[in-house]
Amino acid sequence: MNKTFKKETVSSQAAMKLVEKATEKATQLGFSISVCVVDESGQIKTFLRMDGAPLISIETAKKKAITAVGFGMATGEAWQSFIQGDPILENGVHDLPNFILLGGGLPIYINDQLVGAIGVSGGHYKMDEQCANAALEAIV
């Protein structure tokens, strides 16, 4: 019987690179964002709110990252498809703490291992998704 196991997690260096690439993409698109990177347990690894990012983007970015790592799937359309037509899920997911359906949260998989997630908020969720995707392309 194993009494312990090894967990992989996103490194601080990779988390900072994710923030850098997400904010570069936001600047290119012409808007300001908040970016939250969490580890495999949903604990904040790094966070940045760009100058001018909406105040509400702080908690929204955090919730997107926690949702993505908590379920190992992206926020946004994947969730809409998953819960659509299921009244229990449609009504129940809104009561989960730190859960949000808006796009812009992506799980981080390295070597098929869930090691964390990124959450981006500040613009339309499609723009947030572009920033999150640009960030992930830099490290995976």
The residue ranges of every structural domain in the chain are: 12-139
pLDDT digit string, tens, across residues 32-49: 999 999 999 999 999 999
Q: Measure the CA–CA gap between 94 and 84, rounded to whole angstroms.
A: 13
Q: What are the pLDDT digits (tens) for 65-111?
A: 999 999 999 999 988 888 888 988 888 887 888 999 999 999 999 99
Q: Determine the Cα–Cα distance for residues 41 and 69; give it in Å rounded to an integer.
A: 8
Which residues lie across from 128 on neighbouring strands?
none
Please give the model's pTM, rounded to 2 decimal places: 0.94
For 12-139, CATH gives 3.30.450.150
